[in-house]
A and B are shown apart, each in its own frame.
Chain A
Amino acid sequence: MECRVLSIQSHVVRGYVGNKSATFPLQVLGFEVDSINSVQFSNHTGYAHWKGQVLTAEELNVLYEGIKLNNVNHYDYILTGYSRDISFLETVVDIIKELKKANPSLVYVCDPVMGDQGAMYVPENLLPVYKNKVVPLADILTPNQFEAELLTGRKINTEEDAIEVMDLLHKMGPETVVLTSTDLPSKQGDQFLVALGSQKISKVSDGTNTDQKICMDIPKVDAVFVGTGDLFAAMMLAWTHHHPKDLKTACEKTVSVMHHVIKRTITYANEMAGPGKRPTPAQLELRMVQSKADIENPAIVVEAKVLQKSSQ
């Protein structure tokens, strides 16, 4: 498999977020990963302390120039995630446009990181950039409920709402949308959260339109993880690559990998913390290298339900 990904995300010396979270799993699955580190920090910002340096939009351009001058600016995928800087994000958009010109089949996997649980945790002025410039270029989008509501201006209270929001997102650009988590009540009870996915593939050749909409009930875990969204987007990239027209399978594999990594992590973290104590951010770092076998070949632990499948 010759598949080259350009991932533009954070780097941390210690732990697994951003490029640290995405690179190893993708490499283990055989992808060539080129990584531009948007920042380099000692660790993620959930620790008591964090220190490091930020890449400016200009410096990002310089790195891209180097790639271009050597005529190796050919990628099959781009992957982006957490960003805090408008000019950086806009430079990323320019780079993606150029790379899509160089390879029209390029797939842009975008995690539109803006916030969660009803609050933004990036500067507010990123929203219009995501809405007007980034999402229109994206092919695969992995918003959570809050981000999906922000981008479409529509609230999600029911499954029907979620479906309408995903359709609105399709109209903005991406053929594949996954709502990574929602507050919708799960049929399996309150120990589960609901995730949904939608794929709208139009075949230009014969005008047919294949929609697939799915939903999954995912076991909740009583801990705050950092880097799981980054791992999710990377795994969606990998599994939609292997199952480009089967969102059900791609999501089952992605969510199953998440489950194995998270389980292993929480078990280890609790062991480290000791009985009755809440694990620290350091103890909760994803057990990534230890999960290699699960990443390579995930046992399916969550089944996705097909909501509607129509072909015209």
Chain B
Amino acid sequence: MVVKVYGPAYASPKRVLLCLVEKEIDFETVPVDLIAGENLTPDYLQLQPFGSLPVIQDGDYTLFESRAIIRYYAEKYKTQGTDLLGKTLEDQGLVNQWLEVEAHNYHPPLLNLVLHIMFSPHFGIVRNEQVINESEEKLVKVLDVYEDRLSKSKYLAGDFFSLADLSHIPFTSYLVGPVGKEYMIKERKHVSAWWDDISSRPSWLKVLEICK
């Protein structure tokens, strides 16, 4: 029985798919159409009561929140595929630190850009230029910190690719693509090199292929 991942068309589930590919774990995907409100059906809400994507089913075991799911598989299959957690407790601490940075500092302004530029007028979003400008300003400040960090460290948590870098890939792909703000990455030498590195990993190319 393979892991089922719900909602592959969207970015948060792609964090999970990336992790599963890096860890060489078989999976199947189940489409969920957000625009048609398929995340708000009673069946879906039984699995994920907040109506968010993704959720996974692994036999009898159900888990939601993409960053919880990737932590689970990275640890459960630690000795298989890419090691995404680091070797020591302190390495793991830093991976979690930068995962939290992604979740609290990087993701919120980027999500605003994605919702207002890509998804409005769906989901009740009315495109708001002030929100877009303020979000871009916030993201600039975060990227400046990343530029400094990545000038001293090859990847966010250290000299190894980890869950922390992986977690950035799907939404950053939106930023440099349909959101139309590639310059935010390209204008920063070390962020740009880091992005080129992580976005050319075979796992990401495979995820894009699967989700075409």
A binds B: no
